[in-house]
Amino acid sequence: MSDGGVNLGGVNLDDFGDHIERPSARLRRQAEERRARIGVPPKALGRLDEIGAWLAAAQGRVPVTPVERPRALLFAGDHGVASLGVSARPAGGATALVRDALNGTSPAAVLARQAGVPLRIVDLSLDCPADELPEEVSRYRVRRGSGRLDIEDTLTEEETERAFRAGMAIADEEADSGTDLLVLGDVSVGGTTAAGVLIAAMCGTDASVVTGRGGRHIDDLTWMRKCAAVRDGLRRARPVLGDQLRLLGAVGGADLTAMTGFLLQCAVRRTPVVLDGVVSAACALVGQRIAFRAPDWWLAGQASGEPGQAKALDRMAMEPLLDQGVTVGEGTGALLALPLIRAAAALAAELPTTTD
């Protein structure tokens, strides 16, 4: 790793700042000018106009084209910190959640099926034998479970590079296959604790400010254990705050590290992404620190109710599309936002202008 903290085994974070461009401001203006020539009164479509203009700029064309090839992508992993009792689910319990998704019985699987969206699950660090899962799920696995962030690095330096590169490779696969919108979520136990550490470190806040109740609304005693774990992880995160790869390796685990690489590479490849909850927001916040233009390629699908997510989105000036009190995670909130985004694209594409 370089002294400047921007290089790990050939991954040069400065490259992202050089290669990521914002969606076209010129085309966004053209989309807004076209909208002004549509017979529907100004502001009558609310945020649908904003989403349509964002998609036009991301696609590089006016009028925007309908969203035709979206995909939901879930990064999966178990976190060693879950052994402290910081979650309503047992340590190592993410594997059961993944099996439910693969069997089509999880909330995300039901919503993806209803929307006609392929659902892809990527195991980065589940705590089970790799051969218990389909090869296409486990082929990017970095390790079995991530380390305990309160007392040790969650990943070695080599594992950090592998996880980050895995996320980049997955983004390239999706872009090369013609995916035009990605819905991002996580399947983890202990992941919101890791996310809380990252957000507190990035925002310079205390553990209690970012520690929420999780997807299953943990009780007060569990919340106190979680808050203590975030506090201890924060002590380990602050010394490496200026080196985002070391930060991810110290406290993020394989799944969050891969999600960060994925988000940044999606921005390089000009592929828009819909974020779900606090975990994807934490990774996006780290991504913003690496490349400040990258968040222009991402939308916040929903407000999860997690204080850490609200803190991260505020720092990135993102306003969630939905606030329905959905806390289950696993990409469900972002999937719920997908019909809204598709509707915005269809309206922007099909409503005639006064000159048509």
Alpha-helical segments (H) within the chain = 14-19, 25-36, 47-59, 94-102, 107-115, 135-138, 157-176, 191-203, 207-210, 220-237, 244-247, 253-268, 278-290, 307-315, 332-350
CA distance 353 to 349: 10
C-alpha 260 chain-centroid distance: 7
Who contacts 181 (Cβ-Cβ below 8 Å, separation ≥6)?
Answer: 67, 69, 70, 71, 271, 272, 273, 274, 338, 341
Q: Is 132 a catalytic residue?
A: no
CA distance 223 to 219: 6
Q: Which of 159, 161, 306, 330 is catalytic?
A: 330
Counted residue by residue, the chain has a size of 356
**Neighbouring C-alpha atoms within 13 Å toward the C-beta of 173:** 13
Six-digit token string for 168: 């980049």
In this structure, are residues 316 and 287 in contact, taking their beta carbons and an 8 Å threshold?
no
Who contacts 161 (Cβ-Cβ below 8 Å, separation ≥6)?
Answer: 8, 9, 10, 11, 245
CA distance 322 to 325: 9
Query: What b/e string do you get for 51-61 counting C-beta neighbours within 10 Å, with b at 16 or more?
Result: bbbbbbbbbee
C-alpha 104 chain-centroid distance: 22
DSSP letter for 341, please.
H
Closest CA to 199 of 249, 124, 251: 251
Q: Which residues are catalytic?
A: 330
